[in-house]
Amino acid sequence: MNVDWLIRGRDGRLSAYLLSEATVHCRAERGPGGPWDPPRTVGGDQRLHSVLALGQGPDRYTHLVSWRPTVRDQSGLVHSTHYRPDLAALDWNPIGHPNGSGDRTGNPAVAIDAEGRAHVFVRNRGGGVSMIGQKLKGGWGPWCDLKGRKVQGDLAAVTGESGCVELYAAVPGGVMHWRQQEAGTAPALDEALEAPVRPGSLRALATSADSTTLFFTDDESGDVCAWRPGTKPVALLASAGPGPVCVIRCELDGHDCTLLAQRSASGRVAFAAYPTEDESAGAWWTESGPELPADALLALAEDEQGRVVAATLSPGTGELRVTRRKDEPGIALEAWRSV
């Protein structure tokens, strides 16, 4: 799955979106902080490929994007919107293929602008990136080739505090960055970074009124690095484990902080925090919870009270574990529990 799969809905409840064979399921809290409902199928009974991208706009609606098989050796992208956890999501709606037709070209990413329009990005057959966006009054615009070359791994799409959408993509020896100049326009190539970036490690976060920050793993040193276009990348701390980090911006002890989480080499979840955009302050890992299966996924969110919530999901078993931050200084967490 591309980006966080744990999302707080319009009614304040948390939902976890799970890939199960050829369908997407959603589990939601019955009430904020309460027990969780059993899994429900999202988007109808269409058969999907095992890939899912998620995004959420200012209206707190959840947008889902996946690939579905069409005819033999061909696939098309589909989109659904989930307005509230207690409502059924819209049926999957076909939105086409970046090259008109063909098989899957890469894992999609989705970001939602200030007006609630979804922007879907995917690698195209030429190795660059293509985008399709929702129109303000409904429907979808045409596919747009954003160019680029030799794109690798998952894309990282993010909406800045300005409401404009940005995209990061790993390429051999670096990262490419696209940014919307104004809402409703196609993102344009803005700046490239030369660095040994590990494909599949990109995560992006809006960190100030003017900036988004990209987190990635340096493929040579193994460090988690932070980069804001217009600056040099900063090595933040050594990776806790081999997978990508999860990131969220939150308030800790009255300070605007960025919290990172990663499955550690020991199999537990490691957390680290630092003042947002102040990488020079340093960060260090603290491990929490039980040892997880090798396929475990990790996500972060905030609940209705503004408390950080961490969740792990084991696709093999479907086990969902959740913890919340205690009302104590630092990153003290409640005991992990299965739901």
Q: Tell me the one-letter amino acid at 119.
A: H
Q: At which of 239, 268, 297 does a domain end?
A: 239
The number of folded domains in the chain is 2
Whether 290 is in a domain gets the answer yes
Could you give the CA distance from residue 119 to residue 156 in angstroms, rounded to a whole number?
12
Same domain flag for 282 and 230: no
15 pairs with which residues across the strands?
7, 28
Write down the pLDDT at residue 243: 86
Whether 95 is in a domain gets the answer no
Whether 28 is in a domain gets the answer no
Could you give the CA distance from residue 110 to residue 21 in angstroms, rounded to a whole number?
21
Whether 267 is in a domain gets the answer yes
Write down the pLDDT at residue 33: 79
Residue 120 pLDDT > 90, yes or no?
Answer: yes
Whether 110 is in a domain gets the answer yes
Query: 3-state SS of 173-241?
Result: CEEEEEECCCCCCCCEEEEEEECCECCCCCEEEECCCCCEEEEEEECCCCEEEEECCCCCCEEEEECCC
Same domain flag for 282 and 227: no
Residue of higher predicted confidence among 317 and 131: 131
Listed in sequence order, the residues at least 6 apart from 316 whose beta carbon sits closer than 8 Å to its beta carbon are: 293, 295
What is each CA distance from 274 to 30, 163, 255, 281, in whole angstroms?
Answer: 33, 25, 9, 7
Task: Please write the tens of the pLDDT for every residue from 264-284.
Answer: 999 999 999 999 999 999 999
Whether 306 is in a domain gets the answer yes
The torsion of the CA quartet 298, 192, 110, 205, rounded to 10 degrees, works out to: 50
Residue 296 pLDDT > 70, yes or no?
Answer: yes
Q: At which of 191, 221, 239 does a domain end?
A: 239
Same domain flag for 310 and 219: no
Could you give the CA distance from residue 293 to residue 316 in angstroms, rounded to a whole number?
9
Write down the pLDDT at residue 229: 96
Residue of higher predicted confidence among 264 and 242: 264
- DSSP summary character for residue 91: P
SS3 (DSSP) at 130? strand
Residue 82 pLDDT > 80, yes or no?
Answer: yes
Say if pTM beats, i.e. exceeds, 0.75.
yes
Same domain flag for 222 and 293: no
Same domain flag for 233 and 251: no
Closest CA to 300 of 237, 238, 257, 241: 257
Contact 123, 151 (CB under 8 A): yes
Same domain flag for 285 and 331: yes
Q: At which of 180, 207, 239 does a domain end?
A: 239
Listed in sequence order, the residues at least 6 apart from 130 whose beta carbon sits closer than 8 Å to its beta carbon are: 98, 99, 121, 122, 123, 124, 143, 144, 145, 146
Same domain flag for 269 and 220: no
198 pairs with which residues across the strands?
none
Whether 299 is in a domain gets the answer yes
Same domain flag for 320 and 201: no
Whether 213 is in a domain gets the answer yes
Q: Which residues of 57-76 are buried (b: 16+ CB within 10 A; e: fewer)?
A: beebbbbbbbbbbeeeeebb
Pairing of strands 297-302, 255-263: unpaired
Listed in sequence order, the residues at least 6 apart from 71 whose beta carbon sits closer than 8 Å to its beta carbon are: none
Q: Long-range contacts for 224-227 (Cβ within 8 Å, ≥24 apart)?
A: 224/260, 224/262, 225/195, 226/279, 227/175, 227/193, 227/195
Same domain flag for 234 and 249: no
Task: Please write the tens of the pLDDT for every residue from 2-20.
Answer: 678 999 999 999 999 998 8
* Residue range of the domain that includes 131: 105-239
Residue 331 pLDDT > 90, yes or no?
Answer: no
Same domain flag for 175 and 253: no
